[in-house]
Amino acid sequence: MTGGLSPRAMDATGASYFDGDVPQPRGVTLALTQGQSLLEITLDDGRVVEWPLTEVRALPDISGRAQYVLRWTGDPLARLVSPNPFLLSALPQAKRRAPPKGRGRLIKWAVAAVAAVALQIFVLVPLLADNMAKFIPIEGEKALGEATFGHIREALDDTGLTPIDVCTAEAGTAALNELVTKISGDRAFRQDVTIAVLDHEMVNAFALPGGFVVLFRGLIEAADGPDEVAAVVAHEIGHVISRDPTRHALRSAGSIGVLGLLFGDFAGGAAVLFLTERLIAAQYSQAAETAADIFAHEALEDASISPAALGRMFENLQGEHGDRSGVAAHFLTHPAMGERIRAARAAVDPDGTYFPSMPDESWAALQNICK
């Protein structure tokens, strides 16, 4: 058979053809015709179907090696099922994939999905949360803070078994409460400030809804003196007053569900953990940080504690940890740190007289609050 134009018969034993209209297998005879560029399928009812060889594809991921399912790109429904491996090897483009369709539509919806999530997380949820924070009753705010505090204590524990401890040594607690009273002065807050120390080496502090101010043991250990702790407490009370934590907690409540939706089962848990970490890191807006700083300066000034302590605390942290991130992200990752240190220094009244924020024995007690 030298003439390329003469048909070449293929073994069609066990092969069947489905015409895509009725669920009836048709016996076939197969031949390659027209210079072996056309697959001629002759059905047992006399019909003849011709498939151009370059347009015949084998279906992928078929189980079992004994059978191939072939289709022609020009007919979405018809199928040729054949056990003949020689037929497959005669097809030049059997494995070629179908060109993707609807790609433009896909991209449109992908953009829409990203936009919807971004709109949700960056615009709608914050907007709603900020407004809700104004209307949430005191009791509800406190409950929200307690719930968040519980989550954070659980999340920080490495063993995952018990929440990390709250330090409650009597003398230290008394010293801390006295400090809060001193800083608060005669300001009328919406609610009392509740202060707690967590037994963890992280150099950090944060505020929670409902007037909770939480310090880590690591922060007390890293401080050079009681004034620096006082400065941090004053700063956090500043956040409490402006209700930054309430807004923040409500925002997370709205965002967690959306992230869970995006990442599904297995990454959803990770997303929630990530958000808890964000909550501790508490990256408030620059304006919120500045406002809290300004409050701290005033409160410290009124309590006759040098506002420069806040700047010293920042410097202290920066010097101790250099540029390493993560250790005290709350204070260190802020871009305007130098600016904030300068502002703290500028808040010092050159004619004012300042006293230590607490007597030495109280400071010693505070340092031992976790023992």
Partner 1 sequence: MQVEFVGSRWALFWLALKTGFLTVITLGIYRFWMKTRLRRWYWSAIRPGGHPMEYVGDPIEKLLGFFIAVVILTFYIGIVNLLLMFVSFSVFNSSWVGYLASFAGVIPIWFYARYRARRYVLGRTRWRGVRFGLEKGAWGYAWRALVHWAITLCTLGILWPRMTFWLEKYRTDRTFFGSARLTQGGHWTMLYRAAVPFVLSLIATGALVIWLIWIAPLFPQMEGSVDGFVAGVEGFFTEEGPAAVAASPERLLLGLLCILGLIYGAVHYRWTAKRILANHKTAPGITFHSGLNSARIAMIYVLGVLISYLVLTFSVLLVILMGAAVLGFDSFLAWFGLGSMSAVGDWPRWVAVVLMGVLYLSAFLLWGVLYNTFVTFPIMRHMALTTRLPDHHGLDHISQRARDDFAEAEGFAEALDLGAAI
Q: Footprint of partner 1 on this chain (CB under 8 A)?
A: 16, 18-25, 59-64, 66-67, 69, 77-79, 81, 100-103, 105-106, 109-110, 112-113, 116-117, 120-121, 124-125, 128-129, 132, 135-137, 139-144, 147, 158, 201, 250, 253-255, 257-258, 260-267, 270, 326
Q: How far apart are alpha carbons 260 and 199 in whole angstroms? A: 30
347 phi and psi angles, rounded to 5 deg? -75, -10
Residue 144 or residue 309: which is nearer to partner 1 going by CB?
144
136 phi and psi angles, rounded to 5 deg? -70, 130
Residue 184 or residue 252: which is nearer to partner 1 going by CB?
252
CB of 103 to partner 1, least distance (A): 7
Please give the helix or strand (H or E) that residue 91 lies within, else none: none
Residue 252 or residue 306: which is nearer to partner 1 going by CB?
252
- Map residue 100 onto helix, strand or coil: coil
User: Which of 348, 349, 354 lies closest to 308 in space, CA to CA?
Assistant: 348
CB of 208 to partner 1, least distance (A): 13
Q: How far apart are alpha carbons 291 and 321 in whole angstroms? A: 25
Residue 37 or residue 325: which is nearer to partner 1 going by CB?
325
CB of 108 to partner 1, least distance (A): 9
CB of 80 to partner 1, least distance (A): 10
Please give the helix or strand (H or E) that residue 61 lies within, else none: none
Q: Residue holding tokens 């449109």?
A: 108
Residue 48 or residue 261: which is nearer to partner 1 going by CB?
261
Q: Residue holding tokens 């406190």?
A: 142
Any idea what DSSP says for residue 124?
I
Residue 120 or residue 191: which is nearer to partner 1 going by CB?
120
Residue 158 or residue 186: which is nearer to partner 1 going by CB?
158
CB of 243 to partner 1, least distance (A): 14
User: Buried b / exposed e across 283-312, counting CB within 10 Å, b at 16+?
Assistant: ebeeebbbbbbebbbbbbbebebbbbbbbb
Q: How far apart are alpha carbons 221 and 197 in whole angstroms? A: 12
- Map residue 194 onto helix, strand or coil: strand
CB of 54 to partner 1, least distance (A): 22
CB of 19 to partner 1, least distance (A): 7
Please give the helix or strand (H or E) that residue 50 lies within, else none: strand 48-52
